[in-house]
Copies of this chain bind each other. A is one copy, B any other.
Amino acid sequence: MNMKQIEKEFLDFVKKISAYNEALGLIYWDLRTGAPKYGVEQRSEVIGLLSSEVFKMSTSEEMAAYIATLSKQLLSEKTSKILQECKREYERNKKVPEEEYKEYVILQSKAESVWEEAKETDNFALFSPYLEKLVDMTKRFVSYWGYQENKYDVLLDMYEPGMTVSLLDQVFHELKDKIVPLVKAVSKSPYKPKTDFLFEKFPKELQREVSLKILEKMGYNFNAGRLDETVHPFATGLNPGDVRVTTNYNENDFRTAIFGTIHEGGHALYEQNISKDLIGTPLCTGTSMGIHESQSLFYENILGRSYSFWKNNFELLKQYAANGQFDGVELEDFYRAINESKPSFIRIEADELTYPLHIMIRYEIEKGLFNGELEVKDLPEIWNEKYEEYLGIRPKNNAEGVLQDVHWAGGSFGYFPSYALGYIYAAQFKHKMLEEFADFNHMVESGELLPIQEWLTEKIHQYGKLKKPIEILKDVTGEGLNPNYLIDYLYKKYTDVYKLN
C-alpha cells in the first residue's frame, strides 16, 4: 500500500472516532435537556460502550501503526496536526497501566459521591482520604507521562497546551498585585450601585425571547443551533452545523438567563465557525479551554456588560420586561447595577473583578499539592487564609470554602487556571479590536455585532485546533500572554462604576 492510501485510511479511522464522539455528544445533550429519567440507567450503558470503543480505537495497534508510519512522512499541515493530536491522546492513554487507570476511574466516581456528602455535611475529613488518593494517583500518572520543569505543567498542558507554572506564576503575580488593591478600593467606595430593580419577576418565556434576540444579534446561526433550558447552562458543538446552547431561567433574576445565554453564545460562535474542512477530525473544536473561555467571557463581560452594549439593548430588555420592571431606571444605573462587584465565597457566583482571585487561590493550592509543598489535610485552613488575604473574607464552613467545587473530586487538576486565562486572553483580543475597529464603541452602540464575530472567526474560530493557543494569541495580538490589558480594562471599568477617582 502506498503512503497516500495509508493516509486516507488513517483519516477514515479518525473520522470514525469523530462519529462516535458526535453520537456521544448528542446523548449527553439529550440527557441534560429532557431525556426521560427511567431510561438513564440503560443510556449510561450505551455511553459506556461507545466511550470504550473510542478508547479502544484511540489506543489500538492500528492507531499505533498509523502514528509510527505516518510520523516519518511529509504530510499536509492538516494531516500532520491530526496525527499530533492522535499521538498525544495515544501516549497519554497508553503510558498509564490499564489496571491503574481502571482503579482511577472507580476512585473518581466514588470520590464524587463522597464529595457530595462531605459538602452537604461540611465534613472535609470524609473527603480528605479520597482527595489524597486522587492527588497521589495523578502524581504517579504524571511520572508515567514524564515532565520537564514542573510536574504541574503536565496537568496545565492538558487543558491549555504549552502553559507552564513559570509563566503562570509571573502573570498571576502581576494580576494579584493589581487586582487585590482594586477590590479593596471598590469595597470602600461609598458609591454602591442600586440593584433592587434587578430582582423583579421577569417571566421565563419573555426572558427566552430576549435571549433569542440577543443570540441572533451576536451572529449565532439558528440554522446551525438551538436554545434549550437546563439547570446548568452549556454549549455543545456536535459539528459546526449543529452547535447547541442551553440556558437557565431564574424568574426573580433575569441576569442568570441573559448573561448565561451570552456566555454560552460566545462558546457557540467559536464552534459554529470552525472551518468545515476540519469536520470529522480531532481538530474540529476549540484549541484550548482558555481560548474557548476567552470567547465566552469576551461576549458575556467585555461586550455584554459594557455601557455601549446596553445603550443598544436596554430598550429591548425594557420592552420584554413585564410590569414595567425598568420604568424610571436610567441606563447609567442599569449599567452600574449589572457591574456590581463584591468579595464573595462562591466562585461561580463571583463578578468579573473578583473572579480571577478565586482562580488564583485554586491555582496556588494545586501547584502546592503537586510539588509537595502542601498536604491535603491542611487545605481547609490554607483555603480560608487565602480567601482572607485575597478577598478580605473568611468562609464560615467548608461548603462555602474548600468543598465548593466538584473539580477535584473528578480529578480535574490543572483545569481552573483556564478560566483566568480566558479573562486575560479576552482583554488582549479586545485591545486589538479597539486598534483595528476605529469605531468599536459606536458599532456596539448601534447593535452592529456581526463585524466582531467575523473578526473573531477570521482570527480565531476558523482554525479550530490547527493553531495552538499561544500561536493564536501571538498571531492576533502580536505578543504573548500579558495581563496588563485585563488590569487596564478592570481599572477603567471599576473606577467608573464605583467612582473611584
Q: Is the CB of A36 within 8 A of B279?
A: no
Q: B241, A36: Cβ atoms under 8 Å?
A: yes
* A43–B242 touching, CB < 8 Å: yes
Whether B226 and A39, one on each chain, are in contact in the complex, defined by CB atoms closer than 8 angstroms, is no
Stretch at the interface among A18-26, A91-99, A189-197, A369-377: A18-26
- Cβ of A40 < 8 Å from any Cβ of B? yes
Choose the segment among A1-9, A45-53, A436-444, A458-466 that binds chain B (4+ C-beta atoms closer than 8 Å). A45-53
CA of A22 to CA of B47, assembled, Å: 10
| 19 further contact pairs, Cβ within 8 A, besides A20-B49, A45-B280 | A15-B45, A19-B45, A22-B46, A23-B27, A23-B46, A26-B30, A34-B226, A36-B223, A36-B224, A36-B226, A36-B241, A38-B221, A39-B224, A39-B238, A39-B239, A40-B241, A42-B242, A42-B280, A43-B238
Alpha-carbon gap, A239 to B38, bound state (A): 9
Bound form: Cα–Cα A46–B242 in Å: 13
How many Å from the CB of A4 to the closest CB on chain B? 22
Tell me, in angstroms, the Cα distance from A26 to B42 when the chains sit together: 13
Interface size on A, residues (CB 8 A): 38
Binding site for B on A (CB under 8 A): 15-16, 19-20, 22-23, 26-27, 30, 34-43, 45-46, 49-50, 221-226, 238-244, 279-280
Complex CA gap A41/B224 in Å reads 11
When C-beta atoms are compared, the residue in chain B nearest to A37 turns out to be B223
Check B242–A39 contact: CB distance below 8 A.
yes
11 A-B pairs (CB sep. < 8 Å): A19-B45, A20-B49, A22-B42, A23-B23, A37-B241, A38-B242, A39-B239, A40-B241, A42-B242, A42-B279, A42-B280
Output the residue of A15, A20, A243 with the most chain B CB within 10 A.
A20
Alpha-carbon distance A250/B228, docked complex (angstroms): 24
Count of chain copies: 2
Instruction: Give Cα A27–Cα B224 distance, bound, in whole angstroms.
Output: 16
Q: Would you call B242 and A49 a contact (CB within 8 A)?
A: no
Measured in the bound complex, the distance between the Cα atoms of B279 and A30 in whole Å is: 20
User: Closest chain B residue to A18 by CB distance?
Assistant: B46
Cα distance A238–B40 when bound, in Å? Answer: 11
Shortest Cβ-Cβ A-B pairs, 6 listed: A39-B242, A38-B241, A39-B241, A38-B224, A42-B239, A19-B49
Known: A30-B30, A43-B239. A50 touches B38 (CB 8 A): no
Q: Chain B nearest CB: distance from A336 CB in Å?
A: 38
Q: Is the CB of A41 within 8 A of B226?
A: no
Query: In the assembled complex, which residues on chain B have CB atoms less than 8 Å from the CB atom of A244?
Result: 36
Q: A240: which B residues are within 8 A, CB to CB?
A: 38-39
Residues in B whose Cβ lies below 8 Å from that of A223:
36-38
